[in-house]
Chains A and B, each alone.
Chain A
């Protein structure tokens, strides 16, 4: 008895299930009138420190909430909780061997422990990683990438997927440039090679340089949201 083989045409996008869940998250955000940022970077680029400075600067207006993604620990959420803002931590550890990114489904679970009615601006701090987070939409309005000068000028060329998908690039640790021999014009050239003209801001979360401009950008984005 021979096996009968058949051919089935599928034509399904590999990320379609995630994208559908991301759209559902987005509807939830729109209904609540929340502007959502997906913040991504390599590990150690300074996302959490940027958020600390941001929360200090905003001081409650607009009302910021944070969803923290990490493979393990609640260290980042603990650092932000002292600001008295709504913050929740999604540990990706129970996923497939500790997922290296947040996907739309994980974010949708995390949202259940956030008081959406008390939030104007939600910042989702993704898992530190320059590859995987770029693949997974989570329902965000904008993607902000933190790229620090300690990482080297060549990173946009090495990780084009993430740099291409960003709406704003924050160039962090700018205070260290004199000590590193970092070639800032080269970084900007590489950035433009991959994502021509993408808005970029130079800042230092340590000294506070550039935090005001970054917060002004955030507030301008937030003000474009229609309040239901």
Chain B
């Protein structure tokens, strides 16, 4: 259900930017901390996109690992799971600097050729 709501928000953004052009590909950045199930999001996207210019578009997910900046040693290390811990010095609770993303990065669109449009 969570992915369905997210897919609906993605389709809304995509269609607004596409401005009537057909969408062939959508690139989405998904942070590790968003609890998004990729298969579920792709399935929901296909469903919600039906009847819109994004119907049939490929949804490409770029997974962004969680990273934390350590308040003790300053290292920035990957955070695979909770509890968050600096992988360099072992200090607890580094500040999250990546992994919270959920961003529509880019679209691939079909442009109508000038010649074709007038035929």
Contact = CB atoms under 8 A, between A and B. Distances in A.
B64 interface: no
A203 B67 CA distance: 36
B35 A160 contact: yes
Interface in B65-115: 82-83, 92-93, 102-113, 115
B2 A131 contact: yes
Given A101-B5, A135-B5, A194 B106 contact: no
A196 B9 contact: no
Contacts of A97: 4
Contact of A100 (B2, B8, B92): B2
A194 B82 contact: yes
A18 B110 CA distance: 29
Contact of A160 (B18, B33, B111): B33
A126 to B, nearest CB: 13
Interface in B1-50: 1-2, 4-6, 8-10, 12-14, 17-18, 24, 28, 33-35
Interface residues of B, number: 36
B108 A14 contact: no
B102 A8 contact: no
A87 to B, nearest CB: 25
A48 B82 CA distance: 31
Given A5-B110, A161-B35, A10 B105 contact: yes
A36 B109 CA distance: 42
A157 B83 CA distance: 9
Nearest to A101: B5
Interface in A152-173: 157, 159-161, 164
A16 B12 CA distance: 11
A61 interface: no
Nearest to B106: A9
B109 A8 contact: yes
B1 A4 contact: no
Contact of A14 (B1, B6, B111, B113): B6
Given A12-B13, A14-B102, A17-B9, A7 B2 contact: no
A18 B35 contact: no
Interface in A12-40: 12-18
A28 B102 CA distance: 27
B65 to A, nearest CB: 15
A96 B4 CA distance: 9
6 contacts: A3-B113, A5-B24, A10-B17, A10-B105, A17-B13, A135-B6
Interface of B: 1-2, 4-6, 8-10, 12-14, 17-18, 24, 28, 33-35, 82-83, 92-93, 102-113, 115-116
Given A5-B110, A14-B6, 20 more contacts: A1-B113, A3-B110, A3-B111, A4-B111, A5-B111, A6-B108, A7-B106, A8-B106, A8-B108, A9-B106, A10-B17, A10-B104, A10-B106, A14-B10, A96-B5, A132-B5, A161-B33, A161-B35, A164-B33, A193-B83
Counting from the closest, the 10 A-B pairs by CB-CB distance are: A193-B83, A4-B111, A100-B1, A14-B102, A132-B2, A131-B2, A8-B107, A10-B104, A161-B35, A14-B9
